[in-house]
Structure 1
């Protein structure tokens, strides 16, 4: 689906605002709909290292790459992390393509982000989303088998999608 992008000489909000300065609608629009953060992650008890799996959260719609019950997700999945500016800074497992992470780091969005492309499907066309890559949902796989589903691709970008984004004009919170 193609979105109408407003034509303006003003830079877009994600280039001029910090995460804290964004309106609720701007905040929500930063999500590119890749679904990578909705993949089950395992943490090593000894090293605390995080590893991604190709298993999706039980609420993940793995075709549209969004939550099937976003409004009630935390009631249904108690360990679902609600992103806030503070959690974005604290989480080390957000994918490198995550717009929240990019904005916090003072970087621009990638060309395939729906806010840049004007097309909600560009994230899928660029191969960045989890579409066709989720092996199962978490309630379909025995917990003991999760280890068999470790993958590295959520921490990488496909070649064509990795075209560098440019630096923003507003410093990140870390630089202030």
Structure 2
């Protein structure tokens, strides 16, 4: 009987720990947004190489968006490979052009529970060779060292590394 009670107590403790992690969505949002940002950066690099031109990834802290110009104006938006972005409420609020949401634009908004650090500029640019540059206040500079972008949400964190010269996104 004592063994049965001990097993039930242990199952209760493990269940309480597991339930608290299961119902905390910030962990999932953090990882999902980090994975979306990594995919956007990789796609932009491949697009720059295949189209033999500069491709800009706007990283304003609230979204990651792909454009053919630094300003991300009309006519410079890159369409999402699947035909549309996620369409989440934060994407609808963050991915605006002239106060209008464009569902075809390769742009993803940052969930409110996720903090992003280490961007190093207002944009990341890939040239025709796939090399990464940073653009800060209109000045474009070849990435001098490893760029590490960190996504944190509570005690959870994820990182993306962009390597200089090769532009490999890891």
- TM-score of Structure 1 vs Structure 2, range by shorter chain: under 0.3
- TM-score w.r.t. the length of structure 1 is 0.25
More strand by share: 2
Structure ID, larger Rg: 2
Name which structure has the greater RCO, CA cutoff 8 Å, separation 6+: 1
